[in-house]
Structure 1
Amino acid sequence: MTIKSTTDLTCAIYQDALNIRKAVFVKEQHVPENLEIDANESKTIHFVKYIKQQPVGTARLLPCPDKNFNLIQRVAVMKAARHQHIGSELIKAIVHYHLAHYPDQALQLGAQEHAIEFYEALGFQVIADEPAYLDAGMRHREMRLIVK
């Protein structure tokens, strides 16, 4: 089991990330591909979890130098690989990377409402003064990592 990361949009790791996102967001959740693949692709660090060299999960980290936080986005796990802690391993790897490279910035994400408990178990809390919003037709809430 390995987690690899890249900023290179021409490499296999990025292609694996895209394939997972298309399977989960575009095919399963019916997110239009033009919303899923956005202008931030080249600005993010793409993480992919592999089991026996097969890509099974992905997420990306978007540095936001003009804000006081960075964003975790596009967290997705292939249907056949769910309920194996892959999502939490990806989030922990991103948190570790973030703390090593951006120690002075907070870490935030927009969680689909059904995933709030998952992120709470990893130390994130809903930002109380931020209302729920629709993203690609799905309700989301902003969450921020609480580092103890």
Structure 2
Amino acid sequence: MRIENVVDNQQLNDAFSVRNKVFVEEQKVPLHLEQDKYENEALHFVGYVQDQPVAAGRVRINKDYAKLERICVLKSHRGHSLGKQLILAMEQNLIKQGVKKAKLGAQTHAESFYHKLGYSVISNVFYDANMPHIMMEKDLIQ
């Protein structure tokens, strides 16, 4: 998979297309919750297989940590470590910027996926878009 930092409208539309298919169509998240007021301040990523967008995610950076959000892979491409590739690329980008810690709100069914990538649970279960989530974090720079 080729992972790119979004730098133009076509790439952003590709990322939104993947997110729409996964979150809005598949998981039934209302569009007004899936795309929010943070889109313009976030750094977006999109993953391509044979020039087709199949994975997406975004990052928002504040002074203490970066928050990885909207991470998804099309159902047709799951089970091939594309999610892992996307997370690792996002983390490498953050490390290059000197970010020391990453956090994310994981859907509870994905806890073991993120745990294998070094994330630890730091919250109780909470609900976002009517789905159970947990907050997780990882130290990027030791």
TM-score between the two structures when normalised by the length of structure 1: 0.91
Tell me, yes or no, if structure 1 residue 145 matches structure 2 residue 141. Answer: no
Q: Which amino acid aligns with 1:144?
A: E
Find the aligned partners of 1:140 and 1:94 in 2 and give their Cα distance: 20
Q: Percent identity?
A: 35
Q: Could you give the per-residue CA deviations for residues 55-89 of structure 1, whole angstroms, max 9, x where no partner exists?
A: 11011111123xx1110000111111110111000
Which residue in the other structure is 1:109 paired with?
104
The question of whether the paired residues in 2 share the 8 Å contact of 1:46 and 1:59 is answered with yes
CA-atom RMSD, angstroms?
A: 1.2
Find the aligned partners of 1:115 and 1:146 in 2 and give their Cα distance: 19
The question of whether the paired residues in 2 share the 8 Å contact of 1:125 and 1:146 is answered with no
SS in structure 1 at match of 2:88: helix
Find the aligned partners of 1:136 and 1:102 in 2 and give their Cα distance: 32
Number of residue pairs aligned between Structure 1 and Structure 2: 141
What pairs up with 1:65-80 in 2 under 5 angstroms? 65=63, 68-80=64-76
Tell me, yes or no, if structure 1 residue 5 matches structure 2 residue 5. Answer: yes
Which residue in the other structure is 1:118 paired with?
113
Tell me, yes or no, if structure 1 residue 64 matches structure 2 residue 62. Answer: yes
- Runs of 4+ more than 6 Å apart: none
Q: Which amino acid aligns with 2:94?
A: H
Which residue in the other structure is 1:34 paired with?
32
Which residue in the other structure is 2:42 paired with?
44
Q: Which amino acid aligns with 2:136?
A: M
> Which one of 54, 76, 81 corresponds to residue 85 of structure 1?
81
Gaps of 5+ in 2: none
Which residue in the other structure is 1:24 paired with?
22
Q: Could you give the per-residue CA deviations for residues 91-147 of structure 1, whole angstroms, max 9, x where no partner exists?
A: 0001100111133x41100000000000011111111xx221100000100000134
Find the aligned partners of 2:82 and 2:133 in 1 and give their Cα distance: 21
Gaps of 5+ in 1: none
